[in-house]
Structure 1
Amino acid sequence: MKKNICIPLIFTAALSGCSTNSALINNTKTDVAASYNSINSEQLIEHIKVLSSDAFEGRAPSSKGEELTLEYLTQQLTAVGFQPGNGDSFLQAVPMVSIEASPDMTLSIGDKTYQYGHDMVMGSSRISSFEQLNNSELVFVGYGINAPEYNWNDYQGLDVKGKTVVILVNDPGFATKDPALFNGNAMTYYGRWTYKYEEASRQGAEGAIIIHETAPASYNWSVVEHSWTGPQFGFVRDDLNKGRVAVEGWVNSDVAKELFTKAGLNFEQAKAEAAKGSYHVDMGDLSASVTVKNTVKQSVSYNFIATLPGSTKPDEHILYTAHWDHLGKDTNLTGDQIYNGAVDNASGTSALIEVAEAFAKLPVAPQRSITIMAVTAEEQGLLGSKFYAANPIIPAAKTVANINMDALGVSGRSSDVSVYGLGQSELDDFLTIAAQKQGRVIAGDPRPAAGIYYRSDHFAFANIGIPALYAKSGKTPLDEATKALRAELKERLSKCYHNVCDEYSDAWDMSGAVQDIQAFFEIGHQLSKENVWPKWSKTSEFKR
């Protein structure tokens, strides 16, 4: 990767400090309030515009967009006095492999073929130029879960070697809304697509197909069509990922209903049975055939890490994270080919710069270090944060807390703050205080069925024991004008998730995002000057 990059002057122009209408923190010293109020919409918007511009080509890992992004972050963080966070470098190399399945494929089941993109998306995580299913027998395995702690095993007594398992998305708690079943309406990790492929592989299946339904998946089919096509990134493992199923993918709900009917099964009844307890059933004499031709490229992407050393406890770190990557560009598209990723996640990456500048403006350096980390390949399964968690530069035992920022709100202020994973740790208490000073209250996860706490980079840090917070402006608009704006923006924001229309708009109101960033700054500032180590709650699955 090139390290010296010439970026157009528009990207390197100094971003002027601007005033903000946000109220000062109550009962806070003037110097801290000045840093707090240095976080403002004007600067945030300028960073978002740069990072989501067409010149950055959608910020795909191992691309020109990555080079520009890392150079921009280096310029901005160096300018405010942050130092390299990995020895003498701002970068942590993340070796990856890109696997791109040719769209020239069909899935044959029974007497019908299904088309790539429209009906199904298939691929392979194996580092191989050719994988296939050849008349692989289909078995419906319900939710595809093996969870001893819930006394649940959809694979119990079943040998799936050489077979292709068909799996429901989410977990049984979503279907039944029973609070005693898994985590009720709130998705657990067992409901994530990543887990389902992992478990199918552990069980020895040849293929794994997830049935997409919009409500339990929490996104529509177009997200599958855009997110799981094109280059898919993963880690290079010694076995070239031969431990994974040969073919993994998705079918839409219309295809699923048709297949169940052909198998002599009723789709809705089968789902109902699958939600009652461990469940599987053969799908008659149906078998799947598909050939996946891959273009495989090994590459290196980078996590970006910058640190403001603490004055008295430099080995103890408050860690702020956001993923810098998005989906890149697709030259097969007609018209707009760039997935600019303005909300997801130029907004969070820009917030990192704002937080860093606020800490750098403090007249007295924080006692603990402040570390800013922009991670790669979140869109490919949290790869950058997972790699860091397995190869930490800062020991987990010296990382006080993680505050993650992903897809900030762009439609004004709220009277509440949504906390994803509310009740996981004592960081909720720090956020409660910061929000109260803004006249806001804490609310729970507005979309518990979506399993958001398991879908962004904080999850990787939580998995190694670091208390992690993920929150953003809530669902209750502050006033009627904000309510009207949200009604106006709702449809566009929804359809533009993981789509080429995720671009900056002058219609956005970033005042709510600014409040969120200010609250996150206050939490970090408080933690940076205390001996406290936030703890996991007794009921958190991460406590152990």
Structure 2
Amino acid sequence: MRFVTGAALAALSFAAPALSQNSTPVFSPDRVRAHVEFLADDLLEGRNAGTRGYDLAAKYVASQYQSLGLKPAGADGGWYQQVPLQKSSLADTNGSVTIGGKSFRNGVDVLFSPSAREAAQSLEAPVVFVGFGLVAPEHGLDDYKGLNVKGKYVAFLSGFPKGLPSDIAAHLASEKAKFAQAHGAIGTISVMTPTSLKAFSWERRAAYADADSYTWVAPDGKAHVEAPGIQAGAALHGPAMEALFAGAPRSLKSVLAEAEKNGARPKGFALKPTVKIERRSVKSIVNSPNVLAVLPGSDPALKDEYVVLMGHLDHDGVDETLAGADKIYNGAMDNAAGISTMLEVAHAMVNSGTKPKRSILFAAVTAEEDGLLGADYLARYPLPKGGKVVGVVNLDMPVLTYDFTDVIAFGAEHSTLGPIVERAAGLDRVTLSPDPIPEQGVFTRSDHYMFVRQGVPSVFLVTGYAGAGKKANDDFEANHYHQVSDDLKVPFDWKAGAKFARINYLIAREIADTPEAPRWYADSFFGKIFAKDQPKAPALAKKK
């Protein structure tokens, strides 16, 4: 174990006392390895939510909680918060999108998913093109201005305008259906841009044409839908897009060319053809648990405030259609590594000799791979009841194949969690680096974001790109991410796993012990829209 110098500790004297490495417990590479080896074993069959393999993983995590003496934080005094998941499937291959009288089949030049609420649909309406379909006046976006879309489909360009901050742009793009609903539209049509297709080709998208879709079911028995007023939607490619823009005031080619320019804001207009979407859907329900435990806080004034340390327990299961002998998506790095980190931090918290002042909620959540569903359910129906979540640290797919020298905390620039991460990492002589892939909008793509949407300051921590990091991360993403090769044959550096757990322990300890709960910065976009009435920290001075 390495220790920082006295001068460095003095510089950090304003931090919580728990940040002294002299009181940090021992972190075991062997324990990290043992957790990953069990969770990524073939026996667990890829841990797909709602399957026997996932339930075995959940039982393992609960047994680890129990062995540490943590308190159950699930429903009815148990370890589990059952999340009712609805699976929706297309009933047959007869669904279609008809544009101006020409029919297109799913998976060729159109894509659509099953409905979460309707068994059979045939929805025909006029169409209005609405640019990127975004509303954010503070960023010069009001794509519905002057357009009447009530009772119509809206057609919008996929993605977002170039030049917007990536995390903000990713959030706005995820809200397109809500923007459409707010203006009275009944359906959405996504028009593929060259930028979107470069990031994710149509061929790759079309491979999911028959994929099931999932959502969680609320206590009232209704399937959760973000924009229930939007009754149907589809994405178009090639000939289908040309058919939609037939006779339009502007050609499809000119609109797509404008969309590729930095800062472009294509104006909307009515389209001539009508669109009809026809589909039949079938539904089934399965339960899959979030696995929850709490280490109660020691401070009577703070113990009802919770710091959440979380990771997703599920992965992609088994695919019998794959060629070759290996058909199991073991998810060793994604996300057995994150759960292992969380369990090692829990072990350290229990054995540190000093209880945290705030309570720590450890959460292994389900159905991340199906749309962040377990996290969304937990954020909306938090347990234990009566407590308040004040900060979230999410652990999702840290690449543990090298001795990292920096970490990335996606979202660090939005709240006072950023300096906490920086101080904790610095105690291990690890630096905090800025987002190296801002174009991917990572901050909005993992479980913590469901808590952000409920107004909770959150960060998503991974190993960084310094030194050997970029090569290691690029190699994993290219050769193992969401592939059956993400298994125990990946060359893990178990010492790096213990080091990553130590840093996350230090982060959680400071959040738990510092007098003031984490706050959004006054200029944070996410703080402004999701936590309008919460007290804010002063905006950070901009670096020149």
> What's the TM-score, normalizing by structure 2?
0.80
Structure 2 residue aligned with 1:371, among 357, 361, 377? 361
Distance 1:31 1:426, change over 3 A: closer
Tell me, in whole angstroms, the C-alpha distance in 2 between the residues paired with 1:431 and 1:424: 12
Tell me, in whole angstroms, the C-alpha distance in 2 between the residues paired with 1:344 and 1:256: 36
Tell me, yes or no, if the aligned pair for 1:122 and 1:248 is still in contact at 8 Å: yes
Q: Which runs of 5+ in 1 are unaligned?
A: 1-21, 178-182
Letter in 2 for 1:524: A
What does the per-residue CA deviation read over 1:35-93, in whole Å, with 9 as the maximum and x for residues that have no partner? 544142x4323322332333323323222233112111111111222120135211112
What does the per-residue CA deviation read over 1:359-389, in whole Å, with 9 as the maximum and x for residues that have no partner? 1222333333222011222233322222222
Letter in 1 for 2:235: W
Structure 2 residue aligned with 1:445, among 423, 435, 444? 435
Tell me, in whole angstroms, the C-alpha distance in 2 between the residues paired with 1:52 and 1:109: 46
Moved more, 120-129 or 23-32: 23-32
State the match for 2:292 in structure 1.
305
State the match for 1:518 in structure 2.
502
Tell me, in whole angstroms, the C-alpha distance in 2 between the residues paired with 1:166 and 1:97: 28
Q: Does 1:52 align with 2:33?
A: no
Letter in 2 for 1:121: L
CA drift of 1:288 comes to 3.9
Q: Does 1:68 align with 2:56?
A: yes
Tell me, in whole angstroms, the C-alpha distance in 1 between the residues paired with 2:322 and 2:123: 28
Secondary structure at the aligned position of 1:414 is classed as coil
Letter in 1 for 2:393: I
State the match for 2:417 in structure 1.
427
Structure 1 residue aligned with 2:144, among 152, 155, 160? 155
The correspondence of residues 74-473 of structure 1 with structure 2, limited to 5 A, is 74-86=62-74, 88-102=77-91, 104=93, 105-109=95-99, 114=104, 116-117=106-107, 119-134=109-124, 136-172=125-161, 175=162, 177=163, 183-193=164-174, 195-212=175-192, 215=195, 219-221=199-201, 224-225=205-206, 229-236=210-217, 243-251=228-236, 256=241, 264-266=251-253, 267-271=255-259, 275-277=263-265, 279-285=267-273, 287-313=274-300, 314-335=303-324, 336-394=326-384, 398-473=388-463
State the match for 1:8 in structure 2.
none
Tell me, yes or no, if the aligned pair for 2:100 and 2:243 is still in contact at 8 Å: no
Tell me, in whole angstroms, the C-alpha distance in 2 between the residues paired with 1:420 and 1:365: 28
Distance 1:30 1:294, change over 3 A: closer
Tell me, yes or no, if the aligned pair for 2:49 and 2:288 is still in contact at 8 Å: yes
What does the per-residue CA deviation read over 1:270-329, in whole Å, with 9 as the maximum and x for residues that have no partner? 5258953472133443x4444322220133332211012233444333210112223334
What does the per-residue CA deviation read over 1:398-435, in whole Å, with 9 as the maximum and x for residues that have no partner? 43421111121234233322221232111111111122
Secondary structure at the aligned position of 1:433 is classed as helix
Tell me, yes or no, if the aligned pair for 1:171 and 1:190 is still in contact at 8 Å: no
Secondary structure at the aligned position of 2:403 is classed as coil
Structure 1 residue aligned with 2:481, among 485, 493, 497? 497
Secondary structure at the aligned position of 2:176 is classed as helix
Q: Which runs of 5+ in 2 are unaligned?
A: 10-17, 533-544
Distance 1:506 1:274, change over 3 A: closer
Tell me, in whole angstroms, the C-alpha distance in 2 between the residues paired with 1:359 and 1:268: 54
What does the per-residue CA deviation read over 1:311-357, in whole Å, with 9 as the maximum and x for residues that have no partner? 34443332101122233344555555443333332222222111111
Moved more, 242-251 or 79-88: 242-251
Tell me, in whole angstroms, the C-alpha distance in 1 between the residues paired with 2:513 and 2:349: 12
Letter in 2 for 1:160: V
State the match for 2:537 in structure 1.
none
Tell me, in whole angstroms, the C-alpha distance in 2 between the residues paired with 1:345 and 1:130: 37
Letter in 1 for 2:213: Q
Q: Does 1:506 align with 2:490?
A: yes
CA drift of 1:169 comes to 3.1
Tell me, yes or no, if the aligned pair for 1:39 and 1:517 is still in contact at 8 Å: no
Moved more, 433-442 or 96-105: 96-105
Letter in 1 for 2:128: V
CA drift of 1:215 comes to 5.0
Tell me, yes or no, if the aligned pair for 2:90 and 2:282 is still in contact at 8 Å: yes
Letter in 2 for 1:299: V
Tell me, yes or no, if the aligned pair for 2:122 and 2:278 is still in contact at 8 Å: yes
Tell me, in whole angstroms, the C-alpha distance in 2 between the residues paired with 1:511 and 1:258: 57
Letter in 1 for 2:466: T
What does the per-residue CA deviation read over 1:459-517, in whole Å, with 9 as the maximum and x for residues that have no partner? 2222333321222222112xxxx36xx64773552354344444343334455454332
> What's the TM-score, normalizing by structure 1?
0.80
Distance 1:230 1:185, change over 3 A: closer
Tell me, in whole angstroms, the C-alpha distance in 1 between the residues paired with 2:382 and 2:152: 38
Tell me, in whole angstroms, the C-alpha distance in 2 between the residues paired with 1:488 and 1:418: 14
Tell me, in whole angstroms, the C-alpha distance in 2 between the residues paired with 1:504 and 1:192: 36
Moved more, 58-67 or 247-256: 247-256
Structure 1 residue aligned with 2:2, among 14, 23, 27? 23
Distance 1:62 1:284, change over 3 A: same
Tell me, in whole angstroms, the C-alpha distance in 2 between the residues paired with 1:450 and 1:30: 32
CA drift of 1:436 comes to 1.6
State the match for 1:13 in structure 2.
none
Distance 1:422 1:229, change over 3 A: farther
Secondary structure at the aligned position of 1:317 is classed as strand
Alignment root-mean-square deviation, CA? 3.5
